[in-house]
Chains A and B, each alone.
Chain A
Amino acid sequence: MDGRIRRDVRVEGVVQGVGFRPFVHSLATRLGLTGRVGNDVNGVFVEIEGPAASVTSFLTALERDAPPLASISQVTVTAGEPRGADEFAIVASSGGGPRRTLVSADTATCADCLREMGTPTDRRFMYPFINCTNCGPRFTIVRDVPYDRPFTTMSGFEMCSLCSAEYHDPTDRRFHAQPTCCPTCGPQLRLLSAAGSPLAGDPIGETAALLHAGRIVAIKGLGGYHLASIPSEASVLRQRKHREDKPFALMVSDVDVADRLCVVDSTGRELLTSRVRPIVLLPSRGVVAPGVAPGNRQLGLMLPYTPLHHLLLDAVGGPIVLTSGNVSDEPIAFVDTEAFTRLHGIADAFLTHDRAIHMRTDDSVVRPGTVLRRSRGYVPEPIALSWNIPRPVLACGAELKNTFCLARDRHAFVSHHIGDLENYETLRSFVDGIEHFSRLFDITPEVVAHDLHPEYLSTKHAIELSDVDIVGVQHHHAHIASCLADNNDPGPVIGVAFDGTGYGTDGTIWGGEFLLADLTGFTRVAHLAPVPMPGGTAAIRQPWRMAAAYLDAAGEPRPEWATIVALAHSGLNSPKTSSAGRLFDAVAALLGIRDTVNYEGQAAIELEQRADPGERGSYPASIEDGVVYGVDLIRGVTSDLRKGLSPATIAGRFHNGVADMIVRTCLRLSEEHGLTKVALSGGVFQNLLLLNRTTDQLTAHGLEVLTHHRVPTNDGGISLGQAVIAAAQR
């Protein structure tokens, strides 16, 4: 066999359950190559032989034309002796050995499936569970690896002969599509009353009718139950959910509708229609009912991502509010029985089905350029690192917006959004989630990282573990390291970590920090001047207390706040903080924007929304010996208030003042320490006005700026930072 060569190819990454073997099969067949392809614990193995030129074409196309859901992390090619195979075959999966293969994220219904669902003659016409190798549920239904039907929550549905034929046909789009099913053999929808009794009629049509009648319906989605209403009933939903002001997201049928509600540019369009289908925060045109996102210039929109959502949106004929099915700050309900108890009294009816959800997963939230909540559609695909994690690491994350992270080799598996760990339900999903990820990715941590805050439940979880090395990581160091890992840059950098609350190495609360940092350590080179938080946590819930503390520090105390100032002076439950979040809170309260918050960061968010983006004035802050005096900004605010300037102008000047203060401090540090790179991290940088002002000025001064793109700048990114720091410890 002259001129024939043979190559053994190993493909690693997200390559199982995504149609990779049929793709390889058709590629090889088209090129006239022989050999075989199969799945194993490491991913996909291919053996090909044929003319050298064809083999080369094969290898080029292998990565270039891979199926949409595949994500190749590594391809290894070794040469071998041709064996003279006369056909190309797909061989059975082989099990055993360590698992290195990756599980894919849940993926929005593909165009092919949508077409079939809309074709009256198709056997899956209007079937709300249609899917194929290019789309459908993955992470949320996987119980174990290898990713095979028996290890998913589809295991109880035996395929009918038609589905089975498709499943076993290498040329079919549903070849080895693990969740594949049809109306004959697959899950079924049911509409139940609040009392749990079945309601007559077509479940989707009846749900639409209920929504139009102003009812609240709990809908079982991909990662959990949502609560749905039409936009005009948003305030009813708020009341029942005990969610006072926090914005709701809307699901809209397509980009055209999105464009009627919000300004949708090309990036926005791309995000809305991506296979992740996150909630995208977009500038609102102000035409939606005010109860949906009170006091917010932005609106969260998402497009349907399951066949059920497509059918529902068609039936309703307009946008619906779709919010996580929970009470207050509890995690989203995802088990049927639990949903019925927990959503009792909120939902008037339940649109549910019999495909179980194995992993609770919330909708992801993004803004063009960055991700604010990384969950459904992203997870469990790893954050690829450009350096190696030598020993397997578990990072336990922060308390609020918790995620954990398991990292090994060049992969950091940042978990889905777990939530606020003060609830038992959330703590349980944290513990179970860690267990599940360890099993899925075969990572047994040798190093465990945690925050320094002694009261974080994530900290308490970490320090109770045995037979591992425990590493405490300072909160703001973790923020900066997270930004470094996000950008695949090991540092060192000037790190600006601005957030609400993080435990400092001196036992006080930090949050306005300038660090010289790399992955191995940090020095706190500058920070906001500490002020007392009168009443501790109460000062976070009630921003006016911070206004009182700052006015006192400015030497301009208000008589009506004397008691709170006395509390601050007494030191009784009044910890000191250098938090930038609290400075924003104080200004929001001084401007009369918000005295009490109903959700995290609300005062600062509303302050940003009120600021005049065209304002160029600024308040100067003095910087002495690494201490930045936020109180100077407060003096600027009160002076302009006395002059009768508008809150919009003052808020604008305050934002500019904070940006100036960051820039001047960075320039000084850059000069002193010879660093020209700045990393911005922490929840405060969710503030676009501040982020853009700061980044623009730093760049104009010739500094390179790193910000977040792959993981959130808020505490959802902390676990990644902890992981890379713990991995860098010797």
Chain B
Amino acid sequence: LAHGSGGKATQTLIEAVFLDAFSNPMLDRLEDAAELSVNETRLALTTDSFVVSPLFFPGGNIGDLAVNGTVNDLAVSGAKPLYLTAGFILEEGFPVADLIRIVASMKAAADAAGVSIVTGDTKVVQRGKADGCYINTAGVGVVRCPGRLGAATVQPGDAVLVSGSIGDHGVTVMLARGELDIEADLVSDTAPVHDLVATLLAATPGVRAMRDATRGGVATILNEVAKAADVAVVVDEDKVPVGTEVRGASELLGIDPLYVACEGRIVVFVAGAEAETALDALRSHPLGREAALIGRVKADPPGLVLLNTTFGGTRICDLLVGDPLPRIC
């Protein structure tokens, strides 16, 4: 298996193995969370596992990441997050002090997001069988606007927004591994976006879909939506907000911030006429101050994401199959 980075290989794996075996209408939509009905109440249910290395990095650690990640998957599905579960897989010999720090962060993140961690599980595996600490969280929430949001509802004319500068989390984590000896004033963007989403939805009825741009970054999200809705997503490269530090570090690392993970940024697809309203709503919230309109949805060419480059060219911003390998000569 070489299916880690959240790109096309992961998608192929998901389609080939899981969808095939588990197929049902809720799963097949491949949204961040499933919508289900229990006694007339529409619930959203999601789960996510966290395997970040290093476990501690500027701006956060695996603990708050695990809470925020699941809270955000519920939030972008249009649900109000309520309850979380937490499962731990610990490597034998993992320092208890570290575990205490992680759990404290989880508690703080849960409080900030207004959710409770209501059940959990812990397994300890032999030394070398895990990388310190893995966490799985699952979450349930109540859906605010049942059946309305979804990538498939995106249509030509819609506007594409991001809620803030991209790539901060991924680049921070890469640098935090300490191998590069680069001094950068960078912190992860990990944050719970439920409140930002609530603000946006309250102001903008025309929101069609939201995604949190985690693994594979904004580019992967755009590709997923382009395929799900069978539309083209056209992005202006110079409108995409990227912080100076992230830009500098990305250039050094030779990576494209569009493919770098965020943990507190959302991508919003909204009816074109409501683009400004949505932008204002996002910017009125502390987590969305740097929100930007980065592109538009078009009918043609369906399924592709195009990037208008600074020079006036149009580059295809494709879903990566695996780790990026040079294609040019």
Q: Hey, which bits of chain A sit against chain B, CB under 8 A? A: 242, 327-330, 342, 345, 399-400, 422-425, 427-428, 453-457, 460, 499-501, 503, 507, 509, 533-540, 562-564, 566-567, 569-570, 572-573, 575, 581, 600-601, 683, 714-715
**Across-interface contacts of B174 in A (CB, < 8 A):** 572
Contact among B313, B315, B324 for A455, CB-based, below 8 A: B324
Q: Assess the B306–A581 pair: CB atoms within 8 A.
A: no
User: Are A424's CB and B326's CB within 8 A?
Assistant: no
Q: Which of B282-319 contact A (CB under 8 A)?
A: 301, 304, 306, 309, 311-316, 318
The contact of A327 among B252, B313, B328, by CB within 8 Å, is B313
Contact residues in B for A454 (Cβ distance below 8 Å): 321-322
A631 to B321, CA, bound (A): 32
CB proximity to A under 8 Å, residues B148-183: 174, 177, 179-182
Is the C-beta of B96 less than 8 angstroms from some C-beta in chain A?
Answer: no
How long is the Cα–Cα vector from A534 to B252 in the complex, in angstroms? 9
B15 part of interface (Cβ distance < 8 Å): no
Contact of B253 among A399, A501, A507, A535 (CB under 8 A): A535
A-B contact pairs, 11 of them (CB 8 A): A242-B312, A327-B313, A422-B315, A422-B316, A455-B324, A457-B318, A509-B326, A563-B180, A569-B179, A573-B254, A600-B329
Task: Decide yes or no: A455 and B325 within 8 Å by CB, A423-B313, A566-B179, A572-B179 being known contacts.
Answer: yes
Asked if A455 meets B328 with Cβ closer than 8 Å, knowing A535-B252, A563-B180, the reply is no
Rounded to whole Å, the gap between the CB of B1 and the closest CB of chain A is 14
Partner of A567, one of B180, B304, B318, B328: B180
Bound complex: CA of A714 vs CA of B179, how far in Å?
37
Q: Name the CB-closest residue of B to A327.
A: B312
A501 touching B311 in the complex, CB below 8 Å, given contacts A457-B318, A566-B180: no
Q: Is B108 an interface residue (CB 8 A)?
A: no
Cβ-closest chain A residue relative to B321? A454
A to B contact number (C-beta, < 8 Å): 121
Q: Among the listed B180, B252, B314, B321, which residue makes an inter-chain contact with A424, where contact means beta carbons less than 8 Å apart? A: B314
Q: How far is the CA of A327 from the CA of B315 in the complex (A)?
A: 12
Residues A570 and B313 in contact in the complex (CB < 8 Å), given A455-B321, A575-B326: no
Most buried by B among A454, A455, A501, A537: A455
Q: Report whether B311 and A242 are in contact in the complex, using a CB–CB cutoff of 8 Å.
A: yes
Judged by a CB distance under 8 angstroms, whether B123 is at the interface is no
Q: Kindly list chain B residues whose C-beta atoms are within 8 Å of the C-beta of A509.
A: 325-326
* A563-B314 CB under 8 A given contacts A536-B326, A537-B326: no
**Per-position contact with A for B134-157: 1 when CB-CB < 8 Å, else 0?**
000000000000000000000000
Check B320 for interface membership: any CB of A closer than 8 A.
yes
Instruction: Return A226 CB to nearest CB of chain B, in Å.
Output: 18
A573 with B324: CB separation less than 8 A: yes
Q: Are B328 and A400 in contact (CB under 8 A)?
A: yes
Does B316 lie within 8 Å of A538, measured CB to CB?
Answer: no
Contact A328 B312 (CB under 8 A): yes
Chain B 236-270 against A: per-residue CB contact (8 Å), 1 yes, 0 no?
00000000000000011111000000000000000
B interface with A by C-beta (< 8 Å): 174, 177, 179-182, 251-255, 301, 304, 306, 309, 311-316, 318, 320-329
Whether the pair B177, A423 counts as a contact (CB closer than 8 A) is: no
- Does A455 lie within 8 Å of B318, measured CB to CB? yes
Cβ contact within 8 Å between B313 and A600? no
CA distance A67 to B3 in the complex (A): 60
Contact A460 B318 (CB under 8 A): yes
- Minimum CB–CB distance from A300 to chain B (whole Å) comes to 20
CB neighbours of B325 from chain A (8 A):
453, 455, 503, 507, 509, 536, 575
Closest to B320 in A: A455
CA distance A425 to B300 in the complex (A): 12
Contact A581 B320 (CB under 8 A): no
Is the CB–CB distance between A501 and B329 below 8 Å?
Answer: yes
Residues B326 and A540 in contact, CB atoms below 8 Å apart: yes
Q: How far is the CA of A500 from the CA of B301 in the complex (A)?
A: 31
| Chain A residues, CB < 8 A from B326 | 501, 509, 533, 536-537, 539-540, 575
B residues within 8 A CB of A570?
177, 179-180
| A330 interface neighbour in B301, B313, B323, Cβ under 8 Å | B313
Contact status of A715 and B306, CB under 8 A, knowing A455-B320, A535-B253: no
In Å, the complex CA distance between A509 and B325 comes to 8
CA distance A155 to B304 in the complex (A): 35
CA distance A428 to B253 in the complex (A): 31
Q: Which residues of B contact A714 (CB under 8 A)?
A: 329
Q: Which residues of B contact A569 (CB under 8 A)?
A: 179
The reply to whether A423 and B314 form a contact with Cβ atoms under 8 Å apart is: yes
Q: Within 8 Å CB of B322, what residues of A?
A: 454
- Give the residues in chain B near A423, CB-CB below 8 Å: 313-316
- Tell me which residues across on chain B come within 8 A of A539, comparing CB atoms: 254, 326
Query: Are A535 and B254 closer than 8 Å at their CB atoms?
Result: yes
With A424-B304, A424-B316, A573-B253 already in contact, the answer to whether A327 and B311 are too (CB < 8 A) is yes
| Contact between A601 and B313, CB atoms less than 8 A apart | no
How far is the CB of B105 from the nearest CB of chain A, in Å? 26
